[in-house]
Amino acid sequence: MTEEVAEETKKAPEDDLESVVVRYKDVKKAFGDTVVLNDLNLDVKQGEKVALIGPSGSGKTTIIRMLMTLEDPTEGTIEVDGEMLWHKEVNGKLVPADEKHMRKVRGKIGMVFQQYNLFPHMSIMRNCTEAPVHVLGISKDEAKKRAKEMLEKVGLGDKVDQYPSQLSGGQQQRVAIARSLVMQPKVMLFDEVTAALDPELVGEVLEVLKDIAAEGDTTMMIITHEMDFARDVADRVLFLDNGKIAEAGPPGDVLENPQSERLQSFLGRFNEGG
Ligand SMILES: Nc1ncnc2c1ncn2[C@@H]1O[C@H](COP(=O)(O)OP(=O)(O)OP(=O)(O)O)[C@@H](O)[C@H]1O
């Protein structure tokens, strides 16, 4: 892939700008003197599935932690659904956003981590309805309706009255996915959601994610070390290396026809492992 093509694939087409859900513009992130992300320009479109791959420490988690408002960008801006996340424009100038604004924009983002962190003392249903009732302010009935629908979607419609300790790790992670979807976020972030699971439980969680992706309307940013999964699910794969998007494009290009030695060697490690 040429430089121009790589650049092209990071951006939405000009006539499609209104469908951009997430936009990183000239983002840099440093921890002290250590720059971990540089010149990050990335548009993610409505309904797009973007997989982030790359070696440990390449900055994948930092990209999504900035969206979750867990890390602030050192430079540049991040927009979600047309609104800046960390900044506000006042009299034509960018000023840091207040907590109220950040909370509002953060409400458009759902995230599933390695650790599912369900509330152990609450039923599966209540785990899924607490946030919509208390954060979104929707009625209990509406929250339950949404939760039932999402739990059915992840194959756990019959577990609503059970408690997390009665479920396997894979089932608990599926509840965590349903719980996020109930909030109807504009974008869903998945950070190595199968990394803490026993190998025999990985498949069921990936299948659920594939099903959600196949439905098409959920915008997804997925950090994964599962290359087959990335190939199946992503519209676009981003290879992060040394704090930059080093290669980007459809899975068939990035995963089947890697251009750089760095990506070839990164992918080679997975092939060696089978
Ligand atoms: N709070 C922090 N303070 C200092 N350095 C940090 C902090 N958070 C992340 N880093 C550094 O930033 C770099 C990028 O980390 P990040 O977690 O984003 O990488 P990653 O690609 O997600 O890695 P992995 O695949 O291992 O999760 C790493 O060198 C990490 O040590």
Helix H segments across 183-225? 199-215
Q: Are residues 66 and 189 in the same domain?
A: yes
**Domain containing residue 97:** 3-108+185-272
Kindly state whether residue 178 falls inside one of the protein's structural domains.
Answer: yes
Q: Are residues 76 and 146 in the same domain?
A: no
- Crossing angle of helices 140-153 and 199-215, in 10° steps, is 110
Q: Are residues 199 and 148 in the same domain?
A: no
pLDDT tens digits, 2-38: 444 445 444 544 445 569 999 999 999 999 999 999 9
Ligand 1 centroid vs 63 CA: distance in angstroms? 10
Q: Of all residues in the chain, what percent carry a pLDDT higher than 70?
A: 92
* Model pTM score: 0.90
pLDDT tens digits, 161-215: 999 999 999 999 999 999 999 999 999 999 999 998 888 889 999 999 999 999 8
Q: Are residues 93 and 133 in the same domain?
A: no
Q: Are residues 175 and 196 in the same domain?
A: no
Pocket of ligand 1 contains residue 174 by CB under 6 Å: no
Q: Are residues 141 and 161 in the same domain?
A: yes
- Distances 40 to 7, 73, 107, 123, 184 between C-alpha atoms, Å: 11, 10, 23, 41, 27
CA distance 169 to 16: 40
Last residue of some domain: 165, 184, 203? Answer: 184
What is the average per-residue pLDDT within 203-232? 93
> Per the structure, how many domains does the chain have?
2
Q: What is the ipTM of this complex?
A: 0.96
Least trusted range by pLDDT, from 34-48, 196-210, 229-243: 196-210
Last residue of some domain: 166, 184, 202? Answer: 184
Kindly state whether residue 79 falls inside one of the protein's structural domains.
Answer: yes
Kindly state whether residue 114 falls inside one of the protein's structural domains.
Answer: no
Which conformational region is residue 251 in: left (phi greater than 0), alpha (psi within -120 to 50 degrees), or beta? alpha
* Confidence at residue 89, expressed as pLDDT on a 0 to 100 scale: 86
CA 5 to chain centre: 24
* Confidence at residue 274, expressed as pLDDT on a 0 to 100 scale: 47
CATH number of the domain residue 36 falls in: 3.40.50.300
Pocket of ligand 1 contains residue 60 by CB under 6 Å: yes
* Confidence at residue 5, expressed as pLDDT on a 0 to 100 scale: 45
Kindly state whether residue 135 falls inside one of the protein's structural domains.
Answer: yes
Q: Are residues 263 and 132 in the same domain?
A: no
Confidence of residue 81 (pLDDT cuts 50, 70, 90): very high
Kindly state whether residue 214 falls inside one of the protein's structural domains.
Answer: yes
Ligand 1 centroid vs 193 CA: distance in angstroms? 17
Q: Are residues 169 and 235 in the same domain?
A: no
Q: What is the CA radius of gyration of the chain?
A: 19
Ligand 1 centroid vs 171 CA: distance in angstroms? 28
Which of 131, 122, 141 shows the shortest CA–CA distance to 178? 131
What is the average per-residue pLDDT within 231-235? 95
Confidence of residue 273 (pLDDT cuts 50, 70, 90): low
Pocket of ligand 1 contains residue 224 by CB under 6 Å: no
Last residue of some domain: 167, 184, 201? Answer: 184
**Ligand 1: residue whose CA is nearest its atom 16:** 59
Pocket of ligand 1 contains residue 54 by CB under 6 Å: yes
Q: Are residues 13 and 93 in the same domain?
A: yes
Q: Are residues 255 and 210 in the same domain?
A: yes
Kindly state whether residue 78 falls inside one of the protein's structural domains.
Answer: yes
Stated as kind and residue range, the H or E segment containing 253 is: helix 251-254
Q: Are residues 59 and 134 in the same domain?
A: no
Confidence of residue 270 (pLDDT cuts 50, 70, 90): confident
Instruction: Choose which residue among 52, 58, 71, 191 to substitute to test ligand 1 binding: the one with the highest number of ligand atoms within 8 A of its C-beta.
Output: 58
Q: Are residues 151 and 195 in the same domain?
A: no
* Confidence at residue 18, expressed as pLDDT on a 0 to 100 scale: 61
Kindly state whether residue 115 falls inside one of the protein's structural domains.
Answer: no
